[in-house]
Amino acid sequence: MDSRDHLLFDADGHAGDESETSSDTIEMTGLEEIPVTPARRGSYGAAQYVSGSHDSDDDSDIEDGGDQALLGSRSRTRGPERSQERSKDDIFGQVKRIVIETAPTLLLTTTGLLFTGEILDHVSHWKAMTQIDELIMIIPVVLNLKGNLEMNLSARLGTAANMGDLDHPTKRRSIILGNLSLLQVQATIVSFVAACVSFLMSRIVSATAGMEDGSAPPDNAARELLHMLYTRGVHKPKPHKPPLPLPPSGPAEFILVAASAMCAACASSVLLGSFMCTLVVVCRHFGLDPDNIAPPVAACLGDLVTLSLLGVISELLLHVLNTPIPLIITIVLAAAAIGWAFVTHRNEHVKHLLKEGWSPLFVAMAISSGTGIVLDTFVERYSGFALLAVVIAGLPGGVSSIFVSRLSTALHAATSKASSLVSAVQELQHDKHHPSPRLVMITLIAVCLPIEIIFLTAVSLLGWIHLPLLFIVLQVLFFLVAITISLLIARVTTTFLWKRSLDPDMYALPFQSALTDLVGQLLLVACYEVASLLGVKVALKHKH
């Protein structure tokens, strides 16, 4: 076990006889009370987050922290001065901070999901996409994998920022460069895997379609799965099939798809990875909590940027399809990934991450793909399903990613003070002056409800869809259920992984994202079914 694992999970060596009790006590009931907050401008210092001493001031910091790790913070003061200021006004200030930081972010990312759907609608009609089915098939797979990579990056950086690791220029530079090099390795591998998966699915669907009478031509059958698999964002209408069957894809097409995906993923990682690092540092500088802002932004922009780059690059490479250029690009990117792996391995802050977090990426991909296929029947049956899925699946996913990131930060902070954790947790559990951790969940739900109403109002006023009043009421009720379940999934998943010595910053978000997509869309199906029983019909209007 490396030094990081020792710091995070092996608190026994510092806790003495309390080690067994401490291990069992590391649950969200107490850990949500650990004070981890972004520093105000000009008050940097890792010591205020992770301190090697355990004097009375430090103990007071823990005991008085309440739910700051989840609720937010005010300016930090020392010891008794702070403990005497606990009041309802303080709790209101913490809640207000969450609202101010999360509401604009979630509204922006929800709008971004709509733009992603529009881009997909246009890109799917480009020449490269209409000539090579596997380029259509790779879209949901590569977006799922890349989106999770960006969310993991934002969670790791959010934890590092709140722990004070980004306050020192030298350490900050090392952590950021290490994470960017790691992201290049991950992006190269997952994009190549996505290319393999797209060709595999294309062969399976083509073989199935070829055995059915009156089915689509086998060469174009893969195109049928686009709208079924794109579960992370907006479900769009299926692209129009070419009037003539396309020749079967061969090695040249596979290499082009792999080169396009790898180029798009690596370029997206450079652009979006740099942006996310800058965003977290800026949040830290101005006293904002990156856990409230970065994860949903990463998920939204990850889809938007990667999809745009994939469309442009594949269109350019189509002109050199039968030349060695796509193969050369693939080989160069693979060699570069090996070089980035060596760079990452030499960075003490991230080298252990090369072996972590791979399984949840591919399990989440399988869940999302399976979800899309299972729910394809309902997408066809219900008018407006694709449009409404943006909020009932996308918005709960964004808000629960915020919750996962905050919980993970609290857990890391608790472990850094493990030697004084037991007594602090016991006191906090009986301190009625501290706000309940559930207040965070209620606050996040309250933030999302107006966004849901704004979205439904906007699509109705724009003439995209006609929603009867009763259906709107049902939609809001099922949305509240979806977002509550998503937050519970976030809490249970994070705690479950932590108790098994798995870092939530690397493992929790892919599982949470895939399960939230599944639950959200199943609840949307239930909403349509209930509305149908009540005689309510939804009419989808033409946007163009």
What residue has token string 């990463």?
A: 298
What does pLDDT average to over the chain? 75
Distance CA 106, CA 96 (A): 15
Q: Indicate where the chain has its CATH 1.10.357 domain(s).
A: 122-234+249-354
pTM of this structure: 0.77
> How many residues appear in the chain?
544
Q: Are 420 and 54 a contacting pair, CB within 8 Å?
A: yes
Higher pLDDT among residues 24 and 437, named by residue: 437
CATH 1.10.357 holds for 122-234+249-354: yes
Bridge partners for 539 per DSSP:
466
288-302 mean pLDDT: 88
CA-atom Rg of the chain in angstroms: 24
Q: What is the pLDDT of residues 10-59, one digit of tens each?
A: 434 444 444 444 444 444 444 444 444 445 444 433 333 333 333 434 43
User: What per-residue confidence (pLDDT) applies to 206?
Assistant: 66
Q: For the chain, what is the total number of helices (H) and then of strands (E)?
A: 23, 2
Angle subtended at Cα 104 by Cα 99 and Cα 105, rounded to the nearest 5 degrees: 100
pLDDT of 400 strictly over 60: yes
Longest dimension (CA), the chain: 79
387-395 mean pLDDT: 80
Burial of 242 (0-12, 13-18, 19+ CB in 10 A): middle
Distance CA 71, CA 436 (A): 10
What are the backbone dihedrals phi and psi of residue 539, each rounded to the nearest 5 degrees, phi first? -110, 125
Classify residue 420 by its DSSP letter.
G
Q: Are 310 and 261 a contacting pair, CB within 8 Å?
A: yes
Bridge partners for 386 per DSSP:
none
